Amino acid sequence: MTFPDNKFAEIGAYTDAYFEEYAKAGASVDRAKLAAAAAILVKAYETGGTLYVCGNGGSAAISNHLACDHGKLLSTDTDLLPQVQSLATNVEVITAIANDISYDEVFIHQLRLVAQAGDVVMTVSSSGDSENVVRAATWAREQGIEVISMTGFEGGRTAQAASVNLHVTADNYGVIEDVHQSLMHLLGQYMRQARMEEDLIKQRKF
């Protein structure tokens, strides 16, 4: 059984059911693993490491959004200067690698050129099993680089390869991606407010 498993006659009922699935999916995320992921990110941001993020399709959009928010957001009103790059954003590089080598290599090829000790790789994949993100995660761990994976469905190979797996228990792509987007936002917002004075938090919009 997956959501939806029957036809809905009107959008209001579908909306209620969708948000019920979203609430259950959000509640399924392991809070201890969220804390571990935040600690890995803070350490990289404090020590000048770079976070490299990658994913396909909607997960590529989340990767790009994360690079925007964690770069700009966390450097506002804090002492952090995060270095964040999405490996899904440079269409010229991606298409060159895909055309000349293989689409399976689009992320790992970029990492081989730039990733160093102290960096972090984050993969965003609902299935957790897209070959290009699996190769990126596997290679990073072999180099001693921390890997955070966001997954759904059965978790896939990136769940096994990661240092920390942020798994969403759900079976609908939209619900999983919505929770992944929320995790991206809440990690950034939590780390930002943790580095701000109490009075300043009250003055700012998050």
Contact 165, 33 (CB under 8 A): yes
Query: According to the model, what pLDDT value does residue 171 have?
Result: 96
Give the DSSP letter string of 3-67: S--S--SSHHHHHHHHHHHHHHHHHTS-HHHHHHHHHHHHHHHHHT-EEEEEESTHHHHHHHHHH
Q: Alpha carbon of 123 to those of 38, 75, 137: distances in Å?
A: 15, 22, 7
Q: Which helix (H) or strand (E) holds 122?
A: strand 120-124
Closest to 2 measured CA to CA, from 18, 23, 15: 18
Query: According to the model, what pLDDT value does residue 12 have?
Result: 98
Cα separation, 130 vs 54, whole angstroms: 11
The alpha carbon of residue 204 and the mean position of all alpha carbons in its chain are separated, in whole angstroms, by 25
**Per-residue confidence of the chain (206 residues) as pLDDT tens digits?**
799 999 999 999 999 999 999 999 999 999 999 999 999 999 999 999 999 999 999 999 999 999 999 999 899 999 999 999 999 999 999 999 999 999 999 999 999 999 999 999 999 999 999 999 999 999 999 999 999 999 999 999 999 999 999 999 999 999 999 999 999 999 999 999 999 999 899 999 88
Buried b (16+ CB within 10 A) or exposed e, 191-201: bbbeebeeeee
Encoded amino acid at 50, one letter: T
Q: Where do the domains of the chain lie, and which CATH numbers do they carry? A: 31-203 (3.40.50.10490)
- Report CA torsion sign: 183, 125, 51, 75: negative
Q: What are the tokens at 62? A: 């989340």
- Encode pLDDT of 115-153 as tens digits: 999 999 999 999 999 999 999 999 999 999 999 999 999
Q: Given strand 146-151, what is the order of strands in its sheet? A: 83-86, 50-55, 120-124, 146-151, 164-167
Q: Residue 46, by phi and psi: left (phi above 0), alpha (psi -120 to 50) or beta?
A: alpha
Instruction: Kindly report the pTM of this predicted structure.
Output: 0.95
Q: Alpha carbon of 177 to those of 50, 59, 127, 163: distances in Å?
A: 24, 7, 11, 21
Closest to 150 measured CA to CA, from 113, 122, 108: 122
